[in-house]
């Protein structure tokens, strides 16, 4: 068995091979066979990743660290950029392993589903089948996403990042003969470009200041520069002092800008607030694509990127990220309430959940955000596949107002969808039964993010600390830190999650002793402890989160169950509203197997597999001085008070989870219950509420997606149109005016001179002038023109041939100058000799 | 070991293929692709010479200019093709010989 690194690389390359095969021989393989190639490829990748995962889980922590270090040192040197070495390598750690597994596993089942889905879809444009193309794109997507996950260098991450964007474009525009699909594809691509601009700026700043593009090395250099050590090829970013547009920019601000720049890429790909507009439109693609790319994997790439650059962020950059995430999760959840298209509801709920993840990253909940990413990937893929099943079964009807009562026609879809609704709603029992907690993955992960937000809002920092942080924003942040004691009890920070892998039920047991992990995780070892101390010192100077940043996610935790329950009820329950749709509805077997598998994953995988893996990765990935990383320690009800992350000494220790259950413990029940009350008798109640004065205005605004598209349309598209109009008229009246004016002036002058000649010269004309003009110059010009007219045949290609041929002749003459001159001499000498002989 | 010659041979091959494409393609997009090949061949040359002449970045900068130019040129060329298409209902360049002498 090859080592992990090789297996991961193979796992990345196999889908690429499948893509090449499908691209070259796809049309020959034809309709069912092309899909088998793609399915086989991703299946092999999935097997490889599973084997890696199994091996990795069996390793102890020191062994894992050794493997990570070995992979880090075993990189292929690709090229040099000045003094910066560009290396290709595999970033081998728990996060990579679990992400790789998640992507391949979900992708495999979505490929499987796609075969069933595409079987019932017309895939012809102008008589040519696009069937193989669909699977070729899927394979290419898997290749690029997996490459993104394993990349050890920011540069290669960026390459794969762009490839992923390309695949997204190709797949959104798969029905490119439909106007809306090609428009949506362009919108997605262009919106992503806006974000990528920031990403490139961030990359350049990393290269310029940190002197490397390797993730690990960049983080190390950043930490060293923060401590005041600047290596060769580096510029200390914290000592940077710029003047930009007359503003003095301090080093801390430059470091913040670098982090924000990198985050801009994530804003594009994960569709965060100003750039979120593309994701709902991306639902124009085939439904399996929506499930794979726009719910489970690609959009998560942004969160993954933030997780990887986490150590390059400053507190201000983190705060920015948190604000963006908070805004996104709020507005998109509100818009989701009024959507009537089943896929649009899911799209907006995806946006909202991505907002939660980004918000989690921003408040420092590294573990929780990635945990949420994993659980969300499973249940959102399942929800999307369920919606695909519905759309397929209902003869391409996506409007939920025409559905209803489908429960009897498609029971498996109905109940797996309901499981997804429960998971996203955060179904769980907030009080422990004995020592165990009941809940689906979404419950634990979302709760953990909120718990950290709670800590950041109420437990951490302090009045004077907040004031300090406020004054230190201008750059004295470091000094403020170094003078501050870590007045925080951090002994409990690294307590392990300790959820034994053996607890392979969705009942996560919390009764294991906190430090008794069989793997012997070395939580307090070596430099990590000092890192933690510094980290906490910084954390204490951070300003608290403003209260709205805690309350908004809490409120949205009630909105999420509402709109998901609304979608489920409108689709599957109540009376059928459109008998044409209802009569047609059916369930396809090929398509419900993946649903059941993913439902299993939703229930079982989250707590015993995802969280320990991410928690394990967090030890290294968040060990940096300049960031705040807080481990939420979800639902460790025993010794709750000991597990409070960061509590100032003068504050009473308030265990976040104890409070949180009063805030959101039953949000799933309340939200879903409200939806049930409104929608149980069909749509009349909702329509009545909509007519109420305050609600009607809100509904109108939400239906217009809070005017984002309108604003972008009028400002960006309208602005472009205005500029185009201006330049068109400039061309038409000014440039053309010059040209036409010159022509007109010539004509006037000719007329004038003709008159003058007529009057002055003609009377004395001897005929000579006319003879010279007509006979000599005229005929000569005619002959010359006829001669050079022939090549002027107006065909671009012949011009090119002439140009290229002439260039070749000139080149020949220049190159063989000597030979030509010598042969000329030889020729003339010969001629002279011939002439000399009588 | 890859040396300067290898780069030059590669660039020469790409250049020739580009010129050939421009000469034999009737599709306007095909010609544009040929132009891009030629430009990229030139870029490779610039970079190769710059690489083997230590301490000089002129070639690199030129390559960046070439990329910029190629982007601008593609934008304009495609705009021209659109207009061409609206006028003659095809992008076969042989059909557009109204400028013949």
> How far is the CA of A392 from the CAs of A116, A399, A782, A796, in angstroms?
10, 13, 72, 50
The verdict on a CB contact (< 8 Å) between B25 and A797 is yes
Which one of B19, B52, B76, B92 would you mutate to disrupt binding with A, by most A Cβ within 10 Å of its Cβ?
B19
SS3 category, B3: coil
Q: A795 and chain B: CB distance < 8 Å anywhere?
A: yes
Average pLDDT over residues A282-306: 88
For chain A, give the mean pLDDT.
78
How much is the pLDDT for A758?
A: 60
A126-137 tens-digit pLDDT: 677 788 888 999
Tell me the pLDDT band of A764, cut-offs 50, 70 and 90.
low
CB atoms within 10 A of CB A129: 16
Please tell me the distance from the alpha carbon of residue A5 to that of residue A815, in angstroms, as a whole number: 52
Residue with the bigger pLDDT between A27 and A659: it is: A27
Give B45 to chain A, closest Cα distance, Å: 17
Phi, psi of A184, deg, nearest 5: -65, -40
Q: Check whether A353 has a pLDDT greater than 90.
A: yes
Provide, as residue numbers in chain B, all residues whose Cβ is less than 8 Å from the Cβ of A790.
101
With CA atoms as reference, the chain A residue closest to B35 would be A800
A128-131 LR contacts (CB < 8 Å, sep 24+) = A129/A27, A129/A30, A129/A31, A130/A174, A131/A30, A131/A31, A131/A34, A131/A35
Q: Check whether B23 has a pLDDT greater than 50.
A: yes
With CA atoms as reference, the chain A residue closest to B15 would be A804
How much is the pLDDT for A74?
A: 85
Tell me the pLDDT band of A725, cut-offs 50, 70 and 90.
very high
* Residue whose entry in the numeric block shows the structure tokens 């991961």: A8
Which one of A82, A787, A800 would you mutate to disrupt binding with B, by most B Cβ within 10 Å of its Cβ?
A800
Q: Which of A792, A796, A801 sits opposite B93 (nearest CB)?
A: A796
How much is the pLDDT for A795?
A: 82
CB atoms within 10 A of CB A825: 10
Q: Check whether A507 has a pLDDT greater than 70.
A: no
Average pLDDT over residues A768-785: 77
Cβ-contact A624, A311 below 8 angstroms: yes
Per-residue H/E/C for A747-765: HHHHHHHHHHHHHHCHHHC
Q: Which of A788, A790, A794 sits opposite B97 (nearest CB)?
A: A794
The verdict on a CB contact (< 8 Å) between B94 and A795 is yes
Cβ-contact A147, A160 below 8 angstroms: yes
Provide, as residue numbers in chain B, all residues whose Cβ is less than 8 Å from the Cβ of A796.
31, 93, 96
How much is the pLDDT for A8?
A: 92
Q: Which of B23, B99, B100 sits opposite A797 (nearest CB)?
A: B23
Q: Per mean pLDDT, which range of A435-449, A499-513, A591-605 is the poorest?
A: A499-513
With CA atoms as reference, the chain B residue closest to A787 would be B101
Please tell me the distance from the alpha carbon of residue A819 to that of residue A530, in angstroms, as a whole number: 76
Hey, what are A722's tokens? Answer: 């205005």
How much is the pLDDT for A793?
A: 80
A157-162 LR contacts (CB < 8 Å, sep 24+) = A157/A215, A157/A305, A157/A308, A158/A199, A158/A200, A158/A203, A158/A265, A161/A196, A161/A199, A161/A265, A161/A269, A161/A301, A161/A305, A162/A196
Please tell me the distance from the alpha carbon of residue A410 to that of residue A532, in angstroms, as a whole number: 52
Average pLDDT over residues A238-261: 83
Cβ-contact A106, A378 below 8 angstroms: yes
Cβ-contact A89, A74 below 8 angstroms: yes
How much is the pLDDT for A708?
A: 87
Average pLDDT over residues A577-599: 80
How much is the pLDDT for A237?
A: 83
With CA atoms as reference, the chain A residue closest to B57 would be A82
Please tell me the distance from the alpha carbon of residue A30 to that of residue A164, in angstroms, as a whole number: 26
Give B81 to chain A, closest Cα distance, Å: 13
Average pLDDT over residues A702-720: 87
| Strand boundaries in A271-370, DSSP class E | none
Average pLDDT over residues A179-207: 92
How much is the pLDDT for B71?
A: 92
DSSP per-residue letters across A455-498 = IIIIISS-HHHHHHHHHGGGTTHHHHHHTS---B--TTTT----
Please tell me the distance from the alpha carbon of residue A135 to that of residue A26, in angstroms, as a whole number: 9
Count how many residues are written for chain A: 838
- Residue closest to B77 by CA, chosen among B14, B17, B42, B29: B29
Provide, as residue numbers in chain A, all residues whose Cβ is less than 8 Å from the Cβ of B37.
none
Phi, psi of A437, deg, nearest 5: -115, 140
Residue with the bigger pLDDT between A605 and A520: it is: A605
Cβ-contact A337, A559 below 8 angstroms: yes
Interface confidence, given as ipTM, is: 0.88
Tell me the pLDDT band of A459, cut-offs 50, 70 and 90.
low
Cβ-contact A380, A388 below 8 angstroms: no
Give B71 to chain A, closest Cα distance, Å: 15
Average pLDDT over residues B54-75: 88
How much is the pLDDT for A767?
A: 60
DSSP 8-state secondary structure symbol assigned to residue A525: -
CB atoms within 10 A of CB A640: 17
Cβ-contact A410, A568 below 8 angstroms: no
* Residue whose entry in the numeric block shows the structure tokens 């990579």: A96
Tell me the pLDDT band of A143, cut-offs 50, 70 and 90.
very high
Q: Check whether A472 has a pLDDT greater than 60.
A: no
Hey, what are A783's tokens? Answer: 């002959």
How much is the pLDDT for A16?
A: 95
How much is the pLDDT for A543?
A: 59
How much is the pLDDT for A681?
A: 81
Choose the most confident range, by mean pLDDT, from A95-99, A270-274, A527-531, B40-44: B40-44
Q: Check whether A492 has a pLDDT greater than 60.
A: no
How much is the pLDDT for A490?
A: 29
Residue with the bigger pLDDT between A666 and A167: it is: A167
Q: Which residues of A593-628 are buried (b: 16+ CB within 10 A; e: fewer)?
A: ebbebbbebbbebbbbbbbbbbbbbbbbbbbbbbbb
The verdict on a CB contact (< 8 Å) between B94 and A789 is no
With CA atoms as reference, the chain A residue closest to B16 would be A804
Residue with the bigger pLDDT between A92 and A504: it is: A92
The verdict on a CB contact (< 8 Å) between A797 and B26 is yes
Q: Check whether A624 has a pLDDT greater than 60.
A: no
How much is the pLDDT for A638?
A: 27
Cβ-contact A261, A333 below 8 angstroms: no
Provide, as residue numbers in chain A, all residues whose Cβ is less than 8 Å from the Cβ of B98.
794
Q: How many helices (H) and strands (E) does chain A have?
A: 34, 9
How much is the pLDDT for A514?
A: 33
Q: A796 and chain B: CB distance < 8 Å anywhere?
A: yes
C-alpha dihedral sign at A248, A252, A253, A258: positive
Please tell me the distance from the alpha carbon of residue A31 to that of residue A663, in angstroms, as a whole number: 53
Q: Which residues of A534-570 are buried (b: 16+ CB within 10 A; e: fewer)?
A: bbbbbbbbbbbbeeebbebbeebbbbbbbbbbbbbbb
Hey, what are A544's tokens? Answer: 């608290």
Q: Check whether A532 has a pLDDT greater than 70.
A: no
* Residue whose entry in the numeric block shows the structure tokens 């489908």: A406
SS3 category, A399: strand
The verdict on a CB contact (< 8 Å) between A801 and B23 is yes
The verdict on a CB contact (< 8 Å) between B98 and A788 is no
Please tell me the distance from the alpha carbon of residue A223 to that of residue A216, in angstroms, as a whole number: 11
Which one of B23, B31, B80 would you mutate to disrupt binding with A, by most A Cβ within 10 Å of its Cβ?
B23
The verdict on a CB contact (< 8 Å) between B101 and A794 is yes
Phi, psi of A429, deg, nearest 5: -105, 115
Residue with the bigger pLDDT between A309 and A646: it is: A309
DSSP per-residue letters across A489-501 = --TTTT------T
With CA atoms as reference, the chain B residue closest to A797 would be B23
Which one of A783, A797, A811 would you mutate to disrupt binding with B, by most B Cβ within 10 Å of its Cβ?
A797
Q: Which of B19, B31, B101 sits opposite A796 (nearest CB)?
A: B31
Give A299 to chain B, closest Cα distance, Å: 28
Q: Per mean pLDDT, which range of A25-34, A399-408, A520-529, A637-646 is the poorest?
A: A637-646
Query: Would you list which residues of chain B are within 8 Å, Cβ to Cβ, of chain A?
Result: 19, 22-26, 31, 93-94, 96-101
Tell me the pLDDT band of B56, cut-offs 50, 70 and 90.
confident
Helix (H) or strand (E) holding A285: none
How much is the pLDDT for A606?
A: 64
Q: For the CA atoms of A207, A210, A216, A219, what is the dihedral angle to 10 degrees?
A: -130
The verdict on a CB contact (< 8 Å) between B26 and A789 is no
Residue with the bigger pLDDT between A193 and A32: it is: A193
Give A790 to chain B, closest Cα distance, Å: 7
> How far is the CA of A13 from the CAs of A16, A141, A150, A158, A770, in angstroms?
5, 12, 12, 18, 81
Q: Check whether A505 has a pLDDT greater than 50.
A: no
Provide, as residue numbers in chain A, all residues whose Cβ is less than 8 Å from the Cβ of B23.
797, 800-801, 804
Give A164 to chain B, closest Cα distance, Å: 22
Please tell me the distance from the alpha carbon of residue A718 to that of residue A79, in angstroms, as a whole number: 44
List, in order of start, the domains of chain B with CATH numbers.
Answer: 4-92 (1.10.287.3510)
Average pLDDT over residues A625-640: 40
Please tell me the distance from the alpha carbon of residue A394 to that of residue A423, in angstroms, as a whole number: 25
């Amino acid at each position: 068995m090859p080592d992990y690194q090789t297996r991961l690389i193979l796992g990345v390359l196999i889908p690429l091979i499948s893509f090449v095969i499908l691209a070259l021989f796809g049309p020959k393989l034809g309709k069912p066979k092309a899909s088998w190639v793609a399915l086989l490829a991703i299946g092999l990748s999935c097997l490889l990743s599973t084997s890696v995962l199994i091996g990795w889980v069996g390793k102890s922590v020191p062994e894992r660290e050794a493997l990570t270090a070995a992979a880090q040192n075993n990189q292929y040197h690709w090229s040099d950029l000045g003094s910066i070495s560009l290396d290709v390598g595999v970033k081998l750690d728990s996060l990579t392993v679990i992400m790789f597994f998640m992507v391949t596993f979900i992708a495999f089942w979505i490929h499987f589903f796609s075969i069933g889905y595409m079987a019932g879809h017309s895939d012809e444009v102008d008589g040519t089948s696009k069937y193989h193309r669909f699977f070729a794109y899927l394979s290419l997507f898997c290749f690029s996403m997996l490459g993104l996950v394993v990349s050890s260098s920011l540069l290669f991450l960026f390459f794969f990042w762009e490839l992923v964007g390309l695949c997204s474009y190709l797949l959104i525009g798969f029905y490119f003969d439909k106007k809306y699909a090609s428009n949506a594809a362009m919108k997605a691509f262009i919106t992503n470009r806006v974000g990528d601009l920031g990403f490139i700026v961030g990359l350049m700043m990393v290269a310029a200041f940190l002197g490397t593009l390797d993730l690990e090395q960049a983080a190390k250099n950043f930490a060293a520069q923060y401590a005041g050590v600047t290596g060769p090829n580096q510029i200390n970013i914290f000592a940077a002092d710029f003047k930009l547009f007359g503003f003095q920019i301090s080093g801390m601000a430059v470091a913040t800008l670098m982090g924000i720049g990198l985050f801009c890429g994530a804003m594009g790909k994960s569709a965060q607030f100003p750039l979120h507009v593309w994701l709902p439109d991306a639902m124009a693609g085939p439904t399996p694509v929506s499930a794979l790319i726009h719910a489970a994997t690609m959009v998560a790439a942004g969160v993954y990127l933030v997780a990887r650059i986490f150590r390059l962020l400053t507190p201000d950059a983190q705060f920015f990220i948190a604000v963006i995430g908070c805004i996104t999760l709020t507005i998109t959840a509100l818009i989701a309430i009024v959507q009537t298209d089943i896929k649009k509801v899911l799209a907006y709920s995806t946006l909202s959940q991505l907002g939660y993840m980004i918000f989690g990253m921003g408040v420092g909940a590294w573990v929780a955000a990635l945990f949420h990413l994993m659980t969300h990937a499973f249940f959102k893929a399942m929800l999307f596949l369920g919606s695909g099943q519905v759309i397929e079964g209902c003869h391409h009807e996506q409007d939920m107002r025409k559905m209803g009562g489908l429960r009897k026609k498609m029971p498996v879809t109905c109940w797996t969808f309901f499981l997804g609704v429960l998971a996203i709603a955060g179904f769980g029992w907030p009080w422990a039964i004995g020592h165990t907690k009941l809940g689906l993955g979404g419950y634990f992960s979302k709760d953990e993010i909120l718990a950290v937000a709670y800590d950041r809002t109420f437990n951490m920092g302090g009045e004077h600390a907040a004031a300090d942080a406020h004054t230190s924003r201008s750059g004295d942040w470091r000094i403020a830190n170094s003078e501050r004691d870590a007045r925080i009890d951090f002994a409990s920070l690294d307590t392990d999650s300790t959820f034994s892998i053996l607890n392979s039920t969705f009942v996560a047991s919390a009764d294991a002793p906190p430090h008794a992990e069989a793997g012997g995780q070395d939580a307090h070892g070596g430099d990590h402890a000092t890192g933690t101390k510094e980290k906490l010192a910084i954390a204490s100077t951070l300003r608290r989160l403003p209260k709205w940043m805690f309350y908004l996610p809490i409120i949205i935790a009630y909105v999420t169950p509402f709109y998901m329950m609304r979608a489920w009820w409108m689709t599957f329950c109540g009376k059928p509203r459109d008998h044409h749709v209802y009569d047609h509805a059916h369930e396809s077997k090929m398509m419900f197997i993946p649903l059941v598998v993913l439902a299993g994953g939703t229930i079982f995988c989250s707590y015993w597999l995802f969280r320990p893996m991410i928690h394990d990765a967090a030890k290294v990935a968040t060990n940096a001085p300049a960031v705040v990383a807080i481990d939420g320690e979800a639902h460790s009800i025993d010794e709750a008070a000991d597990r409070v992350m960061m509590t100032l000494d003068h504050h009473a220790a308030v265990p976040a989870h104890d409070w949180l259950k009063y805030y959101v413990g039953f949000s799933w029940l309340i939200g879903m219950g409200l939806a049930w009350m409104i929608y149980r008798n069909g749509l009349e109640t909702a329509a009545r509420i909509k007519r109420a004065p305050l609600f009607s205005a809100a509904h109108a605004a939400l239906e217009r997606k809070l005017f984002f598209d309108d604003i972008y349309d009028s400002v960006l598209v309208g602005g472009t149109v205005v500029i185009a109009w201006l330049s068109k008229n400039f061309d038409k009246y000014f440039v053309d005016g010059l040209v036409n004016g010159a022509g007109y002036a010539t004509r006037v002058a000719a007329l004038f001179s003709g008159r003058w000649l007529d009057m002055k010269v003609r009377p004395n004309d001897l005929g000579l002038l006319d003879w010279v003009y007509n006979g000599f110059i005229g005929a000569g010009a005619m002959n010359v023109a006829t001669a050079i007219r022939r090549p002027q045949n107006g065909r671009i290609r012949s011009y090119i041939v002439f140009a290229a041929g002439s260039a070749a002749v000139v080149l020949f003459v220049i190159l063989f100058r000597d030979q030509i001159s010598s042969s000329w001499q030889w020729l003339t000498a010969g001629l002279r000799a011939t002439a000399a002989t009588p | 070991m890859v040396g300067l010659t290898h780069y030059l041979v590669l660039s020469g091959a790409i250049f020739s293929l580009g010129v050939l494409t421009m000469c034999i393609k009737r599709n306007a997009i095909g010609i544009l692709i040929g132009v891009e090949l030629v430009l990229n061949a030139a870029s490779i040359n610039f970079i190769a010479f710059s690489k083997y002449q230590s301490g000089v970045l002129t070639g690199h900068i030129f390559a960046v200019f070439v990329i910029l130019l190629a982007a601008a040129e593609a934008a304009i060329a495609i705009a021209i093709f659109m207009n061409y298409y609206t006028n003659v209902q095809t992008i076969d360049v042989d059909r557009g010989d109204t400028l013949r002498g």
